[in-house]
């Protein structure tokens, strides 16, 4: 058991990578708190994770909701040992079609949401705690139509280094897990037509050296490594789980 008696807060824990991580962390002895916004997915998480898990409706674009959620967690459990700042979403649009609202929305969730979660929770973390942020293969490549999403993820990669430096004196590690294309509902939310989504899926699968999409569980196991003491001497790093897409 790699997370015995740990209190783990997982944002975006109601679907895809976050939900798989919640199941895995639980099976390794952690008590998990998962957040999301969609009522049906929150209900599904309750069904999957059972009564020992806490599910919270938190829109990470709103810092006040984050502060309240962290206060609720600390009131219930007294501390936080692991943060998996994983929630994220994107909107695909070419240069000429990107709107200021799309830029604000994506940064509000993918960057500000991660920052505010860590900022709110940091006072409640003790020596040996671990923060894992979900970045993306997109911070290493240029992809038409994904300029803003990619930039938000590059910003979080930078944040992992800066906060790693700030929190190292307190014995708190900060790392990133960087998924390649992973089979989750994420892609359906990009706003692409079915035809464009299918074409993009085939193209990216062909570009991945291992010739397939990854599974959410394959990212969750990497997050578990970074969250646990197995990675006790790892901080500021990004663990890439992308079938070789950005590496070979
Ligand atoms: N799948 C991929 O190919 C891929 C590749 C690279 C990086 N990633 C990253 O992996 C992370 C997890 O994505 P996934 O693939 O597991 O996608 P997913 O299945 O769509 O899960 C996204 C999670 O984020 C939550 N979320 C969305 N908007 C939110 C908001 N405003 N406030 C709070 N939570 C919100 C969702 O909850 P609700 O729906 O309830 O709001 C859900 O739990 C994201 O950061 C994504 O950028 C994914």
Q: Tell me: the pLDDT tens digits for 181-235?
A: 999 999 999 999 999 999 999 999 999 999 999 999 999 999 999 999 999 999 9
Measured from the Cβ of residue 51, the count of other Cβ atoms closer than 10 Å reads 6
Using the mean position of ligand 1's atoms as its centre, give its distance from the Cα of residue 104 in Å.
17
The residue contributing the CA closest to ligand 1 atom 10 is: 134
Rounded average pLDDT over 112-124: 98
User: Which pLDDT score is estimated for 203?
Assistant: 96
The residue contributing the CA closest to ligand 1 atom 45 is: 88
Nearest atom, ligand 1, residue 108 CA? 31
The residue contributing the CA closest to ligand 1 atom 37 is: 36
Using the mean position of ligand 1's atoms as its centre, give its distance from the Cα of residue 19 in Å.
10
Q: Tell me: the pLDDT tens digits for 36-76?
A: 999 999 999 999 999 999 999 999 999 999 999 999 999 99
Determine the Cα–Cα distance for residues 189 and 185; give it in Å rounded to an integer. 7
User: Which pLDDT score is estimated for 196?
Assistant: 95
For the chain, what are the domain ranges?
7-241
Superfamily for the 7-241 domain: NAD(P)-binding Rossmann-like Domain (3.40.50.720)
Using the mean position of ligand 1's atoms as its centre, give its distance from the Cα of residue 223 in Å.
15
Q: Could you tell me if the CB of 17 is within 6 A of ligand 1?
A: yes
Rounded average pLDDT over 146-163: 98
Using the mean position of ligand 1's atoms as its centre, give its distance from the Cα of residue 44 in Å.
15
Band of pLDDT at residue 156, cut at 50, 70 and 90: very high
Using the mean position of ligand 1's atoms as its centre, give its distance from the Cα of residue 200 in Å.
19
Nearest atom, ligand 1, residue 137 CA? 6
């Amino acid at each position: 058991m790699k997370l015995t008696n740990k209190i783990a807060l997982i944002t975006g824990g109601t679907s895809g990578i976050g939900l798989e991580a919640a199941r895995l962390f639980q099976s390794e002895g952690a008590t998990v708190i998962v957040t999301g916004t969609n009522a049906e997915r929150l209900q599904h998480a309750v069904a999957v994770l059972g009564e020992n898990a806490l599910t919270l409706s938190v829109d990470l674009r709103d810092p006040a909701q984050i502060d309240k959620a962290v206060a609720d967690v600390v009131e219930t459990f007294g501390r936080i040992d692991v943060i998996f700042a994983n929630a994220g979403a994107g909107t695909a649009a070419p240069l000429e079609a990107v709107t200021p609202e799309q830029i604000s929305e994506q940064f509000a969730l993918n960057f500000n949401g991660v920052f505010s979660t860590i900022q709110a929770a940091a006072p409640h973390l003790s020596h040996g705690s671990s923060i894992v942020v979900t970045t993306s293969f997109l911070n290493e490549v240029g992809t038409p139509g994904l300029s803003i999403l990619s930039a938000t993820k590059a910003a979080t990669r930078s944040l992992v280094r800066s906060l790693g430096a700030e929190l190292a004196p307190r014995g708190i590690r900060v790392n990133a897990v960087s998924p390649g294309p992973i089979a989750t509902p994420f892609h359906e939310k990009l706003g692409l037509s079915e035809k464009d989504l299918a074409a993009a899926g085939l193209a990216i699968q062909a570009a991945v050296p291992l010739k397939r999409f990854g599974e959410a569980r394959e990212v969750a196991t990497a997050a578990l490594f970074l969250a646990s003491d197995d990675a006790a001497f790892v901080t500021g790093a990004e663990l890439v789980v992308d079938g070789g897409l950005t590496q070979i």
